[in-house]
Amino acid sequence: MAKVASGTPAVLALTRAKLDYRLHVYDFDDVPGQIGMQAAAAMGVEPARVFKTLMVVLDEAELVVAIVPVDHELDLKALAKAAGGKRALMADVAQAERATGYVKGGISPFGQKRRHRTFLDRAALGQPSIIVNGGKRGLQIELAAADLLAATAGVAATIARA
């Protein structure tokens, strides 16, 4: 269990679920399009282990969570297929912030205002642990991919492209 206390909804959700995790704190630098890569560099870990949490609108009706490595892009067509939909579009920032209760650069897959279907890129399963946002800028959570899937009732699918 993490030794550092944090009051974010994400950390509280993982603590309640009794999952093993580790917190990473770093100096956040809001560089558009580079938030995840900057986090990996600041923590000194390879980008393949750091995953970004994206909010996506499926078939113009449902918000879903897509989690992909920071050094890859989300494949919207692959996500739509994995989710059983026809079309997926990135949610706008305001919509993502309202739906999750987090701000851009701090959106976590855990502790969102309400549960959304969650899809984790299959590449995560090959990592000993992955790192995702902890619910605020400059805070990341490291845990096993299987624990992320369990905590979010998520599905692993190939949804990223280089």
Task: Please state the pTM of the whole predicted model.
Answer: 0.92
Residue 42 maps to a domain: yes
- Indicate the number of domains in the chain: 1
Structural domain harbouring 71: 9-161
Domain presence at residue 27: yes
40 Cβ contact list (under 8 Å, min separation 6): 46, 47, 49, 50, 70, 71, 131
Position 38 scores a pLDDT of 86
CATH code for the domain of 106: 3.90.960.10
pLDDT tens for each residue of 87-103 = 999 999 999 999 999 99
3 occurs within a structural domain: no
Q: How far apart are CA 142 and CA 133, in angstroms?
A: 9
Mean pLDDT, the chain cut into blocks of 10 residues (162 residues total): 64 94 87 78 93 97 96 97 98 96 94 96 97 94 97 97 90
Give the model's pLDDT for residue 5: 47
